[in-house]
C-alpha cells in the first residue's frame, strides 16, 4: 500500500469539496470524500440549485490547475456582454475587453466531470449517501449516517465543503468563531425558455440576458441544448400575491411582456408553480478554521448572493489557494490551516459585500444613462492606464486580485471617476455659457450643439 502524507476527511461532494479532494490526492494525502446525496452521475432526477452558472477567471484558473479547464470550456457557452432588455428596447454592454467573457456552464456536468477526475485518483475514496450528523473538530472525527446506521471516522484534518448550511460549521460555532447570516428580501425561481420550433435559440446566445425592473429582475443564461435558464428575483411578499396561472401571465405581461411568447403561455402558467421560491443568504464567519484540525472552504465558509456570479468562483479559488499552501508547507497542517483563514477571510467578506452591491447595480443601475457613461469612462481610463486603472467588474471577474484589494481599489477609482465626470460636466457647462455669452445670446442655437462644436467654439473665443 502506498505511503500517505496524512489522512483528510472532506465533507461535501459539491464542486469545491471534489476539487479539494483532487488536489489533496495529487499531493499524496489519503482522502475520504463524503457526500450526503447519491452519486449525481447515476441519479436520474437530480434536484439542485440553479441549472447553470457563470464561471470566470478565478474558477477557471482552479479548474485549469485540476486539469479540466479545457473540457469545461468545451461544454460552456461564452457570454461576452450583458444583453439589457428594457421597456423601450434592448442594448448590450460588454463585460470586459475583447476576448473576455463569462462561461455559462452546466452545474451538474461540472460536478460530474470533477467527480470522475476524483474517482481516477488512487488516493481518493468517494462515499455517497453519507450525511455528516456530528463531528468533533479537535480530534478530528466525523460521524456519518448511512442507510440508518452511523459510522465514525477520524483523520488528520477535517475539511467542511458542505455548503451554505454547513453541518461542519455548525459544530465549529461552538468554539470561538464569529458568525453572521443575512437574507435579502428577494427569493429566486427558475424558469426555462425552450428552443424555438425549428430548434434554435430563442434569443442571441452569447450574452447574459437581463431584464432590470428595479424591484424585480429576470436573467437568462444559455444552455447547450439551445434553451435558456431564466432566474426571476423578486421579493417574497410579491411571490405570495401570485397564486393562479392568470396571475402569472398578468404579472409577466406588465413587467416582462417580451418574455411571455419566449417561454410560452402554457409552460409559464405551470412551471411557475413547480417549485417554491428559494431564499438567498449571505454567510460571513471568521476564522475559517479550528486549530490545525478543521477548516471550511466554499459556501460553508462564505455564502454570497449570486449577483456577481462569484459564489462558486470564490469557492474554487479557495481550493486553489489551499493547494498553494499545501505546496508551500507540505503536510504541516499547523501552518496550512490557520494561514488559510489569514489569507482568505478578508477576501471572502469583501466578495460578500461586492455581491450585495451588484444586487442594486443589476436590477436598477444597468438601465440608467449614468451607468452607461461610467462604463465608457472606466473603459477609456483602463485603455489609458491598463495596469493601474482596472474597472471594478473586471478586477473581480477577470483577474485574481484578492477581492478585498479589488474592493479597496474600486472605492478609490469610483471617487476619481465620479469627481472627474462632475468636473468635466461643470467645465462643459461653463464653456457653453461662455460661448453663448460671447456670441449673440439670442442667436445661439442649442439644438445642434455637440461637444466637439463647444470645444471648437471655446478654443476660438479664447
Ligand atoms: P455546494 O455546491 O452547496 O455543495 C455542497 C455539497 O455538500 C452538496 O453536494 C451537499 O449535498 C453536500 N452536503 C451538505 N450537507 C452535507 C452533510 N451534512 N453531509 C455530507 N454532505 C453534505 N456561483 C458562481 O460562481 N457563478 C454563478 O453564476 C452562480 N450563480 C448562482 C445562482 C444561484 C441562483 C445561486 C443560488 C447560486 C449561484 N452561485 C453562482 C453560487 C454557487 O452555486 C455556490 O457558490 C457553489 O455551489 C458552492 O459550491 P460548494 O461546493 O461550496 O457548495
Residue nearest to atom 3 of ligand 1 (CA): 163
Alpha-carbon distance values, 234 to 169, 180, 186, 231, 245 (Å): 29, 23, 5, 10, 17
Secondary element (H or E) of residue 284: strand 278-286
Same domain, 159 and 35: yes
Measured from the CB, is residue 231 less than 6 Å from ligand 1?
yes
Q: How many domains is the chain partitioned into structurally? A: 3
pLDDT of residue 48: 47
The pTM assigned to this predicted structure is 0.91
Examine the fold and report which residue of 244, 278, 312 is the final residue of a domain before the chain moves on.
Answer: 278
Measured from the CB, is residue 170 less than 6 Å from ligand 1?
no
Same domain, 289 and 170: yes
pLDDT of residue 33: 98
Q: At 15, give phi and psi (nearest 5°).
A: -60, -40
Same domain, 253 and 402: no
Same domain, 14 and 140: yes
Q: How far apart are CA 267 and CA 262, in angstroms?
A: 10
Top mutation candidate among 49, 56, 220 for ligand 1, by most atoms within 8 Å of CB: 49
Whether residue 240 lies inside any domain: the answer is yes
Q: How far is the CA of 111 from the centre of ligand 1 (A)?
A: 10
pLDDT of residue 458: 47
Q: Cell for 200?
A: 434554435
Same domain, 424 and 300: no
Residue nearest to atom 35 of ligand 1 (CA): 306
Which letter, b or e, does each residue of 291-301 get, where b requires 16 or more Cβ atoms within 10 Å of its Cβ? Answer: ebbbbbbbbbb
Whether residue 302 lies inside any domain: the answer is yes
Q: How far apart are CA 16 and CA 162, in angstroms?
A: 9
Same domain, 254 and 388: no
- Give average pLDDT by consecutive 10-residue segment, the chain, 462 residues: 82 98 97 97 64 96 96 96 93 91 96 96 97 96 96 97 98 95 96 97 98 94 96 97 98 97 97 96 98 97 97 98 97 97 98 92 76 83 89 96 96 86 79 73 59 52 42
Same domain, 235 and 159: no
Torsion of CA 211, 218, 318, 100, to 10 degrees: -30
Parallel/antiparallel/unpaired status of strands 278-286 and 141-146: unpaired
Q: Which domain holds residue 314?
A: 7-74+103-179+285-357
Whether residue 312 lies inside any domain: the answer is yes
Same domain, 407 and 289: no
Q: Cell for 416?
A: 476619481
Same domain, 255 and 347: no
Index of the ligand 1 atom closest to the CA of residue 13: 9
Examine the fold and report which residue of 255, 278, 301 is the final residue of a domain before the chain moves on.
Answer: 278
pLDDT of residue 353: 95
Examine the fold and report which residue of 324, 357, 390 is the final residue of a domain before the chain moves on.
Answer: 357
Top mutation candidate among 112, 184, 299, 308 for ligand 1, by most atoms within 8 Å of CB: 299
Measured from the CB, is residue 17 less than 6 Å from ligand 1?
yes
Are 354 and 396 in contact by the 8 Å Cβ rule? The answer is yes
Q: How far is the CA of 15 from the centre of ligand 1 (A)?
A: 7
Amino acid at each position: 500500500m502506498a505511503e500517505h502524507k496524512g489522512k483528510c476527511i472532506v465533507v461535501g461532494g459539491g464542486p469545491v469539496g471534489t476539487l479539494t479532494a483532487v488536489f489533496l490526492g495529487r499531493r499524496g494525502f489519503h482522502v475520504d470524500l463524503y457526500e450526503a446525496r447519491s452519486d449525481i452521475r447515476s441519479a436520474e432526477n437530480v434536484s439542485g440549485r440553479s441549472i447553470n452558472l457563470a464561471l470566470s477567471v478565478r474558477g477557471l484558473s482552479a479548474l485549469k490547475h485540476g486539469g479540466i479547464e479545457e473540457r469545461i470550456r468545451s461544454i460552456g457557452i461564452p457570454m461576452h456582454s450583458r444583453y439589457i432588455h428594457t421597456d423601450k428596447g434592448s442594448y448590450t454592454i460588454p463585460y470586459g475587453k475583447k476576448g473576455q467573457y463569462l462561461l455559462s456552464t452546466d452545474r451538474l456536468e461540472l460536478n460530474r466531470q470533477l467527480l470522475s477526475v476524483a474517482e481516477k485518483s488512487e488516493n481518493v475514496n468517494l462515499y455517497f449517501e453519507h450525511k455528516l450528523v456530528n463531528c468533533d473538530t479537535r480530534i478530528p472525527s466525523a460521524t456519518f449516517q448511512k442507510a440508518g446506521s452511523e459510522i465514525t471516522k477520524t483523520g488528520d484534518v477535517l475539511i467542511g465543503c458542505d455548503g451554505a448550511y454547513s453541518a461542519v460549521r455548525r459544530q465549529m460555532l461552538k468554539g470561538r468563531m464569529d458568525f453572521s447570516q443575512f437574507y435579502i428580501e428577494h427569493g429566486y425561481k427558475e424558469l426555462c425558455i425552450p428552443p424555438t420550433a425549428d430548434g434554435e435559440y430563442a434569443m442571441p446566445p452569447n450574452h447574459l440576458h437581463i431584464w432590470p425592473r428595479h424591484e424585480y429582475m429576470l436573467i437568462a443564461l444559455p444552455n447547450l441544448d439551445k434553451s435558456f435558464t431564466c432566474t426571476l428575483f423578486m421579493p417574497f411578499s410579491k411571490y405570495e400575491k401570485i397564486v393562479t396561472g392568470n396571475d402569472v401571465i398578468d404579472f409577466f405581461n406588465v413587467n416582462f411582456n417580451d418574455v411571455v411568447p419566449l417561454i410560452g403561455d402554457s409552460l409559464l402558467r405551470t412551471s411557475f408553480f413547480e417549485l417554491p421560491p428559494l431564499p438567498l443568504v449571505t454567510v460571513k464567519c471568521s476564522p475559517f478554521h479550528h486549530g490545525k484540525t478543521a477548516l471550511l472552504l466554499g459556501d460553508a465558509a462564505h455564502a454570497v448572493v449570486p449577483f456577481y456570479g462569484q459564489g462558486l468562483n470564490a469557492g474554487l479559488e479557495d481550493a486553489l489557494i489551499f493547494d498553494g499552501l499545501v505546496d508551500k508547507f507540505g503536510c504541516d497542517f499547523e501552518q496550512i490551516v490557520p494561514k488559510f483563514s489569514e489569507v482568505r477571510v478578508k477576501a471572502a467578506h469583501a466578495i460578500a459585500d461586492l455581491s450585495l452591491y451588484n444586487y442594486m447595480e443589476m436590477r436598477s443601475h444597468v438601465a440608467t444613462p449614468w451607468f452607461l457613461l461610467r462604463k465608457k469612462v472606466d473603459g477609456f481610463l483602463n485603455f489609458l492606464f491598463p495596469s493601474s486603472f482596472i474597472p471594478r467588474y473586471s478586477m473581480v471577474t477577470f483577474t485574481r486580485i484578492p477581492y478585498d484589494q479589488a474592493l479597496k481599489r474600486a472605492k478609490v477609482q469610483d471617487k476619481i471617476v465620479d469627481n472627474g465626470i462632475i468636473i468635466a460636466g461643470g467645465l462643459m457647462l461653463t464653456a457653453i455659457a461662455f460661448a453663448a455669452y460671447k456670441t449673440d445670446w439670442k442667436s445661439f442655437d442649442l439644438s445642434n450643439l455637440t461637444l466637439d462644436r463647444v470645444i471648437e467654439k471655446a478654443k476660438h473665443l479664447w
